[in-house]
Amino acid sequence: MELQLPDVAATELLATRLAATRPPRAVVYLHGDLGAGKSTLARAWLRALGVSGAIRSPTYTLVEHYPISGDARALHLDLYRIGDAGELEFLGLDGGEATLWLIEWPERGQGWLPAADLRIDLAVAGAGRQAEFSATSPAGRAWLNALASGASAQAFAADS
């Protein structure tokens, strides 16, 4: 599935839909070059899940933790500046407790990250952005179906 995101508001709407349709546990790889819009999507997604305080960029910390509803927890990772994927071992990532992983630059953590359910490839497209979705697990496939068939999917123009 591919979507055009003509402005930041479109990315924020997508984040809301992804938050609403996500499975109970989900690992999401956010691919895309510098400036492709990964953090914008991740930040709006965390907001949609009810995170109300500051949403820091994990540029230097590599990971930020957020309590979301109940005892659920979201992890936001940005691995752009990681020296070696093995550093992930020392971050104390408790995969067992995290219910949502949003991972920017996942290719830099290869071998140390949980397998993805959903991969989103973001790219600059004119003044806006383009998002391409690939399901990489059964839960991811069901998720994409829910996303594509949801009533508000019509709000996303240029679906293909």
Ligand X SMILES: Nc1ncnc2c1ncn2[C@@H]1O[C@H](COP(=O)(O)OP(=O)(O)OP(=O)(O)O)[C@@H](O)[C@H]1O
118 close to 29: Cβ distance less than 8 angstroms: yes
Residue 67 partner contact from Mg ion, ligand X, none using kind-dependent CB cut-offs of 5 to 8 Å:
none
> Does residue 128 interact with ligand X by CB under 6 A?
yes
How near is the Cβ of 78 to Mg ion at its closest, in Å? 6
* H helix or E strand, kind and range, residue 133: strand 128-135
Q: Which two tokens stand for residue 90?
A: 């020392």
Binding site for Mg ion (CB under 5 A): 38-39
> Does residue 63 interact with ligand X by CB under 6 A?
no
Q: Which of 17, 22, 38, 119 binds ligand X (CB under 6 A)?
A: 38
132 close to 160: Cβ distance less than 8 angstroms: no
Q: CA 157 to CA 5: how far, in whole Å?
A: 8
How near is the Cβ of 54 to ligand X at its closest, in Å? 16
Q: 23 in helix, strand or coil?
A: coil
Q: Are strands 26-31 and 118-125 parallel, antiparallel or unpaired?
A: parallel
Q: Which two tokens stand for residue 135?
A: 């399901």
Residue 36 partner contact from ligand X, Mg ion, none using kind-dependent CB cut-offs of 5 to 8 Å:
ligand X
> Does residue 119 interact with ligand X by CB under 6 A?
no
> Does residue 108 interact with ligand X by CB under 6 A?
no
Query: Under the rule (CB under 6 A), what is the footprint of ligand X?
Result: 5, 7-8, 10-11, 32, 34-40, 80, 104, 128-129
